Structure 1
Amino acid sequence: MIDVQTWTEHTIETSFMTNSAFQMWLVIAGRVMLLVNGTAIQLDAGMVLMVDCGQLTKVERAEGSFHLKVVSVDPFALFSPSLAAQYVTPYVGMIGYHVLHPTDAGEKAILDTIDRAVRRLKKESIFTLLDVTLQLAVVWRYWIQRPSVTRRHGQERMQRMISYIHDHDTMKLSLEDIAAVGGLSRAECCRYFTKWGDTSPLAYVQDVRMQRAARLLCETNLSVAEVANQLGFTSVSHFVQTFKKVHIRTPLAYRKQKT
């Protein structure tokens, strides 16, 4: 029901994410630059990004060291079925996103509630889940009072193309393959990626593949050659060069730093 991820400069990924749950992005320290549905957002320490399910979020970069927590919540699990039918079902996917600022007096209380929920999750107690559920129900109540937004034109097309790339990240995809999934021409496909993510389709494919490569290097004992083979590279030297362009270090140096 509740999942908390901690990101730092060593763990963050820059690929698109289409969240299937309601999320809260808490910046504990530092600064993070994001794209949410193609809109640039800067999050400084103390700020929180609230994101509805089904939105396209992409981390552009972080300035210096940073500490970010992402809390994912299934709002249906916060209420009984009858209450969920009234207070969850009509609002899922309708609101989009909202940024909470600690300097805004009206938002300070909800920021404090989110902070208490995250801190409570660290404590082991028979009442932890109950306490956190009650606090997050208050957050959800605040959330559904936000104005609804209309999904941006083309969001579904972009989500289909992003999902296709992630589902086929071990394959060598062409621009034609990606454009066909979105029902677009090659030129239109390129314009979509520029508009939504400030990148090109094939550059994004490379980024996703190198993110997969980084996970394989850190989470398995596969050799560099084996990782390259899994990702469809016929040349290890080409894989190393591509990896270095994205991660600024060789695969072996990357593995050594992360372990």
Structure 2
Amino acid sequence: MKVEENLIDIQEWTETTIETTIKVNPQFQIWLITNGQLDLLVNGTRSRLRSGMALILDRGQIVKVEPKGEPFRLVVISVEPFDLFSPSLAELYVTPHAETSRSKVLHPGEPGDKPVLDIIDKVIRSLKKKSSFALLDASLQLAVIWRYWIQQPQSRTKHHVQERMRLMLAYIHDHDTMKLTLEDIAATGGLSRAECCRYFTKWGDTSPLAYVQNVRMHRAARLVEESKEPIADLAHRLGYTSVSHFVQSFKKVHAVTPLAYRKRQT
């Protein structure tokens, strides 16, 4: 659900709709599990969110969902903190914290976390109302969450470490129709091949080339679902010279052939 020209974005994801590629969150985000549980890698650290728990993320954090095949429901709220305040207040309370590097898990059993979780729930309920004041109410509540957030300690993760990983991820996503090599990816991050592999192992629990394959297959799934093009044409568009290789790669990630996947979506 998009709210008022993307001022606040709220989405609901389940085990069948969430992507398992490594994500760099583009805005300040709040992830709330409303049912089930979800395993994540957040900046190289494993976390498990159970129903009622939440994850708060600064912009630019590196996250990978690790599905376990169990049902869950996740609500994700995205907002640009500068939009929550007047310019003068934003200069005081947003600008000094815009380049921080933090993530925090909130647990309903923790006394200090419970009030924040209650406010997150109010934000979601406000945005789902058909009231003319829904956006105002949600914005005021998010401003309170931001006040809480900027008082939290910063992570010790070095920005240049995250930046190298972000550069390599961006390069892969921008060139997902090309046959990338380990040398290509490592050079983008200014790393050796061995260092590049260590980065992907820590931040995504995968290898660079396995991640390339995963990204290509997620894009393939979107094309298969949204396009009526023959599977062979889609394979060639994604840089595969062998259709059978494309079908085998697709099935390895999505457990069904491209044609079966397309039929399942209709």
Scaled to the shorter chain, the TM-score interval is over 0.9
Take 1:121 and 1:166, find their aligned partners in 2: how far apart are those partners? Answer: 32
Q: Is the 8 A contact 1:228 1:239 kept in 2?
A: yes
Amino acid at match of 2:147: R
Q: Is the 8 A contact 2:15 2:67 kept in 1?
A: no
For the pair 1:81 / 2:87, whether they are aligned, the reply is yes
Q: Is the 8 A contact 2:11 2:76 kept in 1?
A: yes
Secondary structure of 1:86's match? Answer: helix
Secondary structure of 1:90's match? Answer: helix
Residue number in structure 1 paired with 2:189:
182
The equivalent position to 2:203 in structure 1, one of 176, 196, 199, is: 196
Residue number in structure 1 paired with 2:245:
238
The equivalent position to 2:119 in structure 1, one of 110, 113, 117, is: 113
Unaligned runs of 5+ in 2: 1-6
Residue number in structure 1 paired with 2:151:
145
Q: Is the 8 A contact 1:31 1:63 kept in 2?
A: no
The superposition leaves residues 166-186 of structure 1 with CA deviations (integer Å, 9 ceiling, x where unpaired) of 111111111111011011121
Take 1:208 and 1:46, find their aligned partners in 2: how far apart are those partners? Answer: 30
Residue number in structure 2 paired with 1:32:
38
Identity rate of aligned residues, in percent? 63
The equivalent position to 1:18 in structure 2, one of 7, 21, 24, is: 24
Distance 1:253 1:70, change over 3 A: same
- The two structures, once aligned, show a CA RMSD in angstroms of 1.3
1:42-81 superposed matches below 5 A? 42-81=48-87
Q: Is the 8 A contact 1:30 1:63 kept in 2?
A: no
Q: Give, in angstroms, the shift of residue 90 of structure 1.
A: 0.8
Amino acid at match of 1:136: L
Amino acid at match of 2:245: H
The superposition leaves residues 37-58 of structure 1 with CA deviations (integer Å, 9 ceiling, x where unpaired) of 1101111111000000011111
Take 1:96 and 1:62, find their aligned partners in 2: how far apart are those partners? Answer: 26
Take 1:148 and 1:6, find their aligned partners in 2: how far apart are those partners? Answer: 28
Take 1:72 and 1:229, find their aligned partners in 2: how far apart are those partners? Answer: 36
Amino acid at match of 1:238: H
For the pair 1:212 / 2:216, whether they are aligned, the reply is no
Aligned residue pair count: 259
Q: Is the 8 A contact 1:95 1:147 kept in 2?
A: no
Take 2:265 and 2:46, find their aligned partners in 1: how far apart are those partners? Answer: 29
Residue number in structure 1 paired with 2:3:
none
Q: Give, in angstroms, the shift of residue 92 of structure 1.
A: 1.8
Q: Is the 8 A contact 1:31 1:62 kept in 2?
A: no
Secondary structure of 1:154's match? Answer: helix
Take 2:202 and 2:117, find their aligned partners in 1: how far apart are those partners? Answer: 31
Normalising by structure 2, we get a TM-score of 0.94
Unaligned runs of 5+ in 1: none
Secondary structure of 2:172's match? Answer: helix
Q: Is the 8 A contact 2:61 2:101 kept in 1?
A: no
Q: Give, in angstroms, the shift of residue 219 of structure 1.
A: 2.3
Q: Is the 8 A contact 1:32 1:63 kept in 2?
A: no
Normalising by structure 1, we get a TM-score of 0.96
